């Protein structure tokens, strides 16, 4: 009985998924191509040099419009991150202006401190909308928030292969997705055509061009490289303790395997008189 219920659930699940897939395909947004990421999989770790490059791209390009309000400057010097020293993180903080209140109660600005978060580059949403046509979303968890449906049968496979890098793949694709609009496409004013943005109408002008940011480590100064680096940085920003989480996860699995063995032999011993 239970077996049959489980089976019908499984059939319903698979059928439902298969029916849902064509709906997404009909929207006309292609799936972002997959990239190789050092942080993918249960053993994945961040590439420090890549995080530093990604931070440089954020600092010089994206931070003009996007905040990362859940990330503090001191996170930059914590283990598992881009590997800056505490002094370097403090220097970065001091380059940002943080809104504050002075002793007489008036609003003022002061240089950032390590405990401050990456500030908003605009006073309020209305101002941002006026300047940029839309509010640039905060980047704290953008790499996790922006995913896409891979559809059947991929999502089943993804559970096995532990594929979770939808977010960074989407960000890379979005940076590459600026194209000439098709002739019959109605593009509103002050908007841009992007192949990978749902609906294709995005208010953000293509933020990256080749040669815009210079890297000290000899990595190519191309949009392709920039977009991978900024995507990796945003994955770290969304989960600064990912490496620790994966390490603890592995330790727990090892512990459970050893514990299962011990329990098995204990059971054998306890029941030996009965058998
Ligand atoms: C000139 C301002 C500006 C700059 C610079 C900028 N953005 Fe944006 N960004 C925007 C605006 C405005 C939106 C909202 C677009 C919309 O909703 O149509 C946006 C949206 C986004 C989104 C969300 C797309 C979605 O799915 O909703 C991503 C991802 C993004 N930007 C990445 C970046 C990255 C990476 C950089 C730096 C390389 C960057 N942006 C630089 C203004 C900017």
With respect to residue 85, please indicate whether it lies within any of the assigned structural domains: yes
Ligand 1 within 6 A of CB of 174: yes
Ligand 1 within 6 A of CB of 59: no
Q: Which of 204, 213, 224, 233 to mutate to test the pocket of ligand 1 (most atoms within 8 A of CB)?
A: 204
Q: Which backbone phi and psi does 264 adopt, to 5 degrees?
A: -60, -45
Q: What is the Cα–Cα distance from 17 to 266, expressed in whole angstroms? A: 43
From the CA atom positions of the chain, what is the Rg in Å? Answer: 24
Taking the CA of residue 201 as reference, the ligand 1 atom at the shortest distance is 18
With respect to residue 10, please indicate whether it lies within any of the assigned structural domains: no
Q: What is the Cα–Cα distance from 156 to 122, expressed in whole angstroms? A: 42
With respect to residue 22, please indicate whether it lies within any of the assigned structural domains: no
Residue 218 maps to which CATH number?
Answer: 1.10.760.10
With respect to residue 8, please indicate whether it lies within any of the assigned structural domains: no
Ligand 1 within 6 A of CB of 234: no
pLDDT at site 23? 37
The length of the chain is: 275
Domain interval for residue 247: 42-176+208-262
Distances (CA, A) of 28 to 19, 32, 171, 193, 199: 17, 12, 18, 13, 8
Pairing of strands 117-118, 107-111: unpaired
Alpha carbon nearest to ligand 1 atom 29, residue: 171
Distances (CA, A) of 133 to 100, 136, 146, 201, 202: 27, 9, 20, 12, 9
Q: What is the Cα–Cα distance from 149 to 172, expressed in whole angstroms? A: 16
With respect to residue 63, please indicate whether it lies within any of the assigned structural domains: yes
pLDDT at site 21? 42
Ligand 1 within 6 A of CB of 172: no
State the pTM of this model: 0.87
With respect to residue 1, please indicate whether it lies within any of the assigned structural domains: no
Ligand 1 within 6 A of CB of 49: no
pLDDT at site 158? 87
pLDDT at site 20? 46
User: Is the alpha carbon torsion for 148, 153, 154, 159 positive or negative?
Assistant: positive
Alpha carbon nearest to ligand 1 atom 24, residue: 197
Q: Which backbone phi and psi does 52 adopt, to 5 degrees?
A: -65, -40
Contact between 175 and 208 under an 8 Å Cβ cutoff? The reply is: yes
With respect to residue 255, please indicate whether it lies within any of the assigned structural domains: yes
Contact between 149 and 198 under an 8 Å Cβ cutoff? The reply is: no
Alpha carbon nearest to ligand 1 atom 41, residue: 62
Taking the CA of residue 198 as reference, the ligand 1 atom at the shortest distance is 26
Alpha carbon nearest to ligand 1 atom 5, residue: 62
Helix, strand and coil in the chain, % to nearest 5: 50, 10, 45
Q: How many separate domains does the chain show?
A: 1
pLDDT at site 161? 84
With respect to residue 29, please indicate whether it lies within any of the assigned structural domains: no
What is the four-CA torsion angle of 237, 243, 246, 249, rounded to 10 degrees? Answer: -110
Report mean pLDDT in 10-residue bins for the chain, 275 residues.
Answer: 60 51 54 94 94 97 96 96 96 95 94 95 94 95 90 86 91 96 92 95 96 95 97 97 95 98 96 85
Q: What is the Cα–Cα distance from 123 to 68, expressed in whole angstroms? A: 15
Distances (CA, A) of 84 to 17, 92, 181: 45, 10, 42
pLDDT at site 84? 97
pLDDT at site 273? 87
């Amino acid at each position: 009985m239970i077996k049959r219920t489980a089976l019908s659930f499984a059939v319903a699940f698979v059928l439902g998924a298969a029916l849902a897939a064509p709906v997404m395909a009909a929207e006309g947004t292609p799936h972002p191509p997959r990239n190789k990421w050092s942080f993918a999989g249960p053993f994945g770790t961040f590439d420090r040099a890549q995080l530093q490059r990604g931070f440089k791209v954020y600092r010089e390009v994206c931070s003009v419009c996007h905040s990362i309000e859940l990330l503090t400057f001191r996170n930059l010097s914590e283990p598992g991150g881009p590997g800056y020293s505490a002094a370097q993180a403090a220097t970065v903080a001091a380059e940002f202006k943080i809104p504050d209140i002075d002793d007489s109660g008036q609003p003022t600005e002061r240089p950032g401190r390590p405990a401050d978060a990456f500030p908003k580059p605009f006073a309020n949403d209305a101002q941002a909308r006026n300047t940029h046509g839309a509010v640039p979303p905060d980047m704290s968890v953008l790499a996790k928030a922006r995913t896409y449906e891979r559809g059947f049968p991929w999502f089943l496979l993804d559970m096995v292969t532990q594929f979770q890098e939808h977010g960074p793949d989407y960000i890379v694709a979005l940076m590459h997705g600026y194209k000439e609009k098709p002739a019959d496409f109605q593009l509103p004013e002050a908007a841009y055509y992007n192949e990978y943005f749902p609906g294709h109408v995005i208010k953000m002008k293509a933020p990256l061009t080749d040669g815009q940011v210079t890297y000290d480590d000899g990595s190519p100064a191309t949009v392709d490289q920039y977009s991978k680096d900024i995507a990796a940085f945003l994955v770290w920003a969304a989960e600064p303790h990912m490496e620790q989480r994966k390490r603890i996860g592995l330790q727990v699995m090892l512990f459970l395997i050893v514990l299962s063995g011990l329990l098995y032999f204990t059971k054998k011993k306890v029941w030996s008189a009965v058998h």
